Structures are given as structure tokens and as C-alpha cells.
Structure 1
Amino acid sequence: MTDAVESDGTPDPLAFSNDALILYERIARGDGHVEPGTPALEELLSLGLVLPHIFETDLYLPAGRQYVWQRLVDRERATIEHSGDLLKQAVERLRGLPRFFAMLPPTATGGEDSGGIEFMKSPRDANAAVAAAVATVRSHVYTAHPKDRPREVLTISEVSDIERLKRGVRLRTVYPDSALSRAPENQWVAAVTAHGAEVRTAAAPFPRMIIIDDAFALISDREAVPAYSRTGWKVTHPGMLGFIQDTFKLLWHVADPWAGRNTPRTTGTITTPRARTILNAMSVGKTHDVIAKSLGVSTRTVTNALSPVYDALGIEAGDRFRLGLWWATSDERELEEESIKE
């Protein structure tokens, strides 16, 4: 707690009570529901240390340190400009700012150095930021993709997305209506929705965004050329995160459930015992001819056994690479196979 008064007996504008410090520590940990009007809250608001949530009237969030620093500096600058007699006190308070910030506990979301908003100058920087955040995801990943995603990106994403879904992470994604006619998106949707992902499409234009838990967001740079490029803004500021979360919720509310041409079955198994035998043999590099011989059937029979699996997953027939990716993480690997003839 800072001193309540300055050396000349006047109240110290940087002072706040022990109750305010305890409340700030609580809000900084993420517990920001506070009864409006309480004295400790009013102290924090006057210093700019916390900000009210945009939509929830009893929720408060810790402000970024850069924002608070600039606010306090601007206040002392105004004091100097309007009252030269207070120059000495203002300078002393400015000198005391490092000590003031040193006593504050860290916030749960971090981002103090940049105020919680940082520009990602290249796709590489943006991808690295997303990868670092998603590596520690606990609750949910929400994404909105206004442009088509390359097939190779979706293929790589599919494996990690399914792994997270199996861990209980919630995945929600919004695509534009045009994605309904694109094969790569259809194939990705078929694979991930089979494991519980939720996908919708929107007719109206929307910005690109990636939201991970309540701690990270990446939004597109509206000044980028071309628009919606893979550069953008990394956001960890709690107030902005709340706004971005609410923006996604509104988009999700008006979007329609995915109705692509290859909607998978979401209940029951999609493989037969014979298909599982074939898939396990394929996973160790055996060809259809070798598998057919071991089963005592024709190669056509092996191919036909896999056709329903391709259809159920929304994968183009013969795309063994994507079929193999799905099988590598499928729970159906544990089910009974067909006996192989000696």
C-alpha cells in the first residue's frame, strides 16, 4: 500500500488502501465480479487499474500496464500545465511511478509490456503466436475464417484438432457460405465433426479471428493488403479479449449449421470388422493386393470395403493419405477386426 499523503500533507493521488490492493489482486487472478460502487473498487477505477467489462455490469478486468502508465503520466502532465505551483509534487509522483508498478501483482493474462495488444508483422509471427497459445489450451478454441484455407494447412490442422477434441477441448469454427462447395473444407469438417467439433457458415462478411480460452486472440489487420491477410493483432488485454469473445458469440448466433455435401455420421461406428482389418494393414504399409491375398478375397472387395468409410468421412475415394490420418487417431482402432485366413 502506498502512503496516504505526500510530504506536504496533501493526499497522494497514487495512494490506495489495503482493501483496494486485495481487490486488485483478486481481479488480477481473474475473479472480477465486484459489486459496483464499493470504495475499494472506486479507488482502482480512479487510478485506471481496472476497467469495466463492456457488457457485464458487475465484471471488472485489470487494465494493461502500458495503459495505466500512460494515463497517470498524462494526469501529471495536465497538472503541470494547469498549475505551475504543483510542479514539484507532480515530478515527485512521476519519479514514484516505477515503485508504484513494482508493488502491483501480475495479472492473469499478462501482456503488460505491450498493453496486451501486439502487431504480428508477418504470417510467421502470427503462426508462432497461435502455436504457443494453443499448446496450453484448456477450454476452447474458437475460429472464424473468411477466406479459403489451403488443403495442406487443413490436413496438418486436422490431426492436432482431433487430438484436442479428444482431450475435451471445445472447437467452434465459422466459415463463409462459399466453403460449402470447397472439397478441402468439406473433408476437414467431416473429420473433426465426427469427434465433436461444431462448424457453422455465415452469409455476411466477417473478420478473421482465433480465440484460445479467455487468454489469447488473433484478429486480422484491416489495413493489410490484401485484406484479411495472415498478419494481424495478438490480443491478451482482458478488456479487448472480452469484446472479441462477444463478437464471435454474435457471429456464431447468426451463422447456420454446416450443411456441406459430405456431412459425416456422428453416431455409431463407420467401419466394419473387415474395414478395420484393412485399415490396420494399410497403416503398416501393406498394399491392397497383399491385403486381399491375406484375406482370401479380391482386390476389388478390399476397395469396396473402404468405400463407405470414405463416404462417411467426406474424403475423396482413394485419398489414402487423409484416410490414414483419420485412422491414426480413431477410437475405432480398438474395435474387433475380421480374422485373417492362414
Structure 2
Amino acid sequence: MARTRHRPWGKTRMGLGISAGHGEHLTAPAIRLYGQIARGEGVREEQKPELDELVAMGVVAYDEQQPDVPVALEPQEAMRRHTASKLAELTAQMEQVSAIPAVADKLAVQFERAALQSGAGSQFLGEPELVNARIQDVVAKAEVEILAAQPGGPRSRELMDIAVKRDSEALKRGVRLQTLYRDTVRDDEVTQEWARIMTGLGASYRTLLCPFERFIIVDRRHAFISDYVVPGAPEHAAWHVTDRAVVGYMAKVFENNWHRAMAWQGEPRERDAAGPVGAVRTTPLQREILRDMVAGKPQIATAARLGFSLRTLTRRIDDLRKMWGAESLPQLAAMWMDSPDRHVDDKPFEAERESAA
């Protein structure tokens, strides 16, 4: 090979990358070859592997004027450059590694949806047109019953006109139709009219004071629920559930709520002596506490939902007892049920946050 010589750092073209197959440690023959090159001695053909080690480590480069001539570089400066290069590589790799969990979460959602869409028991429906079309198709084929939990509030005239035709056809086929609403729909004239018409055709309606989730169950084989998989998902997104165990469980939840609810045939609400609905004396937060109380929910669950400590919730309930003059929790619940406050619809409700007391 050509004779080698020592050149200043700035006058050489240097390669700092690590070639495949070479580690970060130089072999003893490579170190001896470095001294040989630094002394300006030639490199033998059989020393080519050791020369590759030195070039990969960045302590030997090739002359710009004579590309075949290896040049020994000042080792301290060369290794500082090499170290900086490796640290930059490691930093980039660490950034990639730190992003892996977030990427995995995003991919997991897609993977789970794909698995469910392949027939594992649920199918994600992301577009409102697709959701409505699927519900219409399943309801049109109902043979035994349709159970609907609708906490969203009064019906619009447009929705009523669409639903009258669809549901009346199901009732003519002998399908049992049960729908659960929030208690506040009793004050809406359009929903009153809807309930009177459909009750006359054989449908059943009840209203519930406490909150509940939206879903539709058809023949205990199909269920439609909102999307709880992806946080902040659009309201129109839904899942079509066909897992028999899950649908059966949901039907049981509906039955429990149905038995606690009050029958309604579309009649206007009778006002009690306490005054109109607007004459309330409780705050939205207090009404949430009272609704959970009459629903039989444990206080620890209510406290967790509202962001309180159990001690804070207990103090809030004591304040309510004093305000209503109730001597016990059952009496407080009874006074709440007889008051106009229970007819107020606070949805959506945002809980007040309070430090633990």
C-alpha cells in the first residue's frame, strides 16, 4: 500500500461513523497499526481489517489529495468528535424510545377496534350516518323487544315524526317497546305528545330522577352504546355490541332502572304546593348529591364522582339536612322527592372541585 504520513486535523477528510461489525474498542493490532501510520510507515495488505477499525473509530482518515493514503489524526480531538457524534445518536435514539408508549397506545386503539370489527363482539361506528343506518336496520328486524334508555332530554318534533313511524311498525309486529327518560321530559309538550301517541299504540314509558347512561337493546342480541373507549370521542360515535353476555348484563341494568322509575303516559306534571319548578333553593351540586342519595349510591362513590373527600361530602349532606330541617337521611330523601327541586335538569353537570377536608 502507499506510504502513510501524519497530517494536521484541518487538512484531512474524516469519516466518524462506526462501520457494521466494529465495536467501540480497538484491538491491540489496530492500536499498533495506529502507531505505524503515525510514524509514516506503510500499511500492509493483511492489515486492512485493523485499518477499517481505526477509520471507523475516527482516529484515521484519508488525505484529500491522495485518497488512498491513510493519515493518523490527533487522538484526543478525534475521540472528542467521535464521542459527540455518538452522544447525538444516543439522544436521537432516546427520543425515539420515549415516544414508543404513546405510539403503542394509538396503535392499540386501532388494533382493538380492528379485532372487534372482525366479529369478536363489538363493532365501532364512527359516522352518524352509519350509526343511524345500523340502528334503523336492527330495530326494523326486532322480533321480541326494544329497550331504550334515553337520558338526553326532550324529543324534537323532527325526531318524533321519524320515530312514530319506526316504532309503530315494531309495535304492530308484536314487539314490546320500553323507553326510559329523565324526569324533566314530563314538562316538554312535544315529548308529552309523543308519549301519549305511542302509549296508545302499546308502548311503555317511565322517567327516572337520577342520571343514567344512553343505550338501546334489541331482542337481547344487539346493543348500541356510546364510545367510552377513546377519551373525548365525538358524541355521534357508537359501538354495536353483539356479545350475548354483555348485552344480557346491559338488559339487567335497564330492568333495575326501570323498576326504580315512575310510569308515564304523557300527562303533564302536576305541580305541588311547594310552587313551580323555577322556585328552587338547591344548587346543581346539591341536587347531584341528593339524586345519588335517592338512587341508593354509596357515599364514597358519590364523593369520588364529584371530586370530594368523604368528609367533605358528609359536611355537605349535613348542610342539606339543616337547610331542609330533616332529622335523618331518609327524611331528607323524602323531602327532596316532594320538592320542585327534583324536577330541575342540570345536565351537563360539572362538579365543583374542593380540597379534601
| TM-score, normalised with respect to structure 1 | 0.42
State which structure, 1 or 2, has the greater radius of gyration over its C-alpha atoms: 2
